[in-house]
Amino acid sequence: MLAQVKKVMVSAAGGDFAGRFGAWWNGKDYAPPAPDSEEAKSEAEAVAKKAKPEAKAPEKPAAKAEEKPEAKPEAKAEAKPEPVKKAAPEVVDAFEAATPEPQPAGDSEIRIKALETLWGEGRLAPGSIMLDAQLLDAVLDQTDKQGDVGFIGVDGALLSGFASRSERKALAAEWRPGCLTRVKELAPKADITACDIDRPRSFAEHSLEGVVSFEAFAYADHKAGLVGRVYRSLTGTGRWVFLDTTRTTKKTPPEAFASAWAEPQLATADEIEELLTLAGFGSVQKLPMTGLVLQAAREGYAQLSQVLENATQSGLAGREGARFLQELAWEAQSWRARMRALEGGALEVNLWVACKGEAPLDLTHKVLPDDLLDLAAKPDDAGASDALFDQAAA
């Protein structure tokens, strides 16, 4: 893709197009080459050649040129730097008109669009109705309670599902960059505020009957602070329900989180359980959810071929089309690596239920048997994901 765009644009724009396009592709500001570098000399020569006709045009009165052949205005005009200075802004303007400087808000919108295209509307990661039901069943099991429920870093699809099942007020804390506006669009009834992942300041102390979070432990740097704040926000009968990825080895595979919203800070399941117990939670349960997450990821990959076909038919082009394919490629490659780590046992996903002073919930009957998961899971479209990544990275 990069080679094709160079061939099309370099003749029209001129100048250091490769440097400008490379800076745009990598999300950096364009820095002109040093005056004594080979790139600068090549750029100056290209601009001078393009500017020559403009310098010669006004200096062709035939009579004067014949009477005084010894005068050499053309040579002097070429030696003066003024024509080059006049032509240079035209090259910059032409390039900027074709490829405007990237805007953070726009990039976030393109990324969110790519993620929802792969995983489904309202989802920024693999998810399903079944996974949502597990989380909501656990937090809404208290049928005699009517207190507010807090949410940390969850998708708009889960918030929409909560609104359809309960009249309780949803207080959502959003820490992912650029996601606040989209989550508000998907869940207009929820009260959503921006926050740090380990500092949900919008949760007042002893005010919530339940808290639901997604991957909060996976990305929180100050895990003890996160546990302490959630614990204080719950009432005496409240509970914390969360879905989180943990590691079973000493190191986190970095390629499995290449497209993540932040640097992964994975803990082990034992470390999470110890933090919850030290905070004062009366009971802590852990239910395996790796199978359901893998199923949701495979279903997303099974649609990759159709996604690419639809993107082609919609006429994706220019900077927005390139960024869309790039984000889609990063997400596809990253989650393929994470799926391998989950299947190999290096990572695991669990549903946790931490209750303050309550008896444990009986949720084990709601977990699907392994054989049923195998039948429901669809194969991923490996060819489509490989082709997508090659296309976007070319």
Beta strand 234-247 with 347-355 is antiparallel
Residues 126 and 169 reside in one and the same domain: yes
* Domain termination residue (choose one: 73, 100, 127): 100
* First and final C-alpha spacing in the chain: 5
Place of tokens 């693999």: 126
How many independent structural domains does the chain possess?
2
- The domain boundary, picked from 100, 134, 155, lies at 100
pLDDT in tens, 291-331: 999 999 999 988 887 777 776 666 566 788 888 889 999 99
Other CB atoms within a 10 A radius of the CB of residue 263 amount to 10
Domain shared by 92 and 120, yes or no? no
Q: Is the pLDDT of residue 122 over 70?
A: yes
| Residue 163 backbone phi and psi in degrees, to 5 | -65, -30
Q: Which domain holds residue 8?
A: 2-100
Q: Are residues 46 and 81 in the same domain?
A: yes
* Average pLDDT along the chain: 75
pLDDT tens column, 153-210: 999 999 999 999 999 999 999 999 899 999 999 999 999 999 999 888 889 999 999 9
Q: What is the domain-level CATH number for residue 253?
A: 3.40.50.150
Tokens of 112: 């969110």
Q: What is the pLDDT of residues 364-388, one digit of tens each?
A: 544 444 444 444 444 455 555 555 5
Region 243-252 average pLDDT = 95
Give the tens place of pLDDT for each residue, 124-158: 999 999 999 999 999 988 656 678 999 999 999 99
164 and 50, same structural domain? no
Q: Identify the domain boundary among 100, 117, 135.
A: 100
78 shares its domain with 227: no
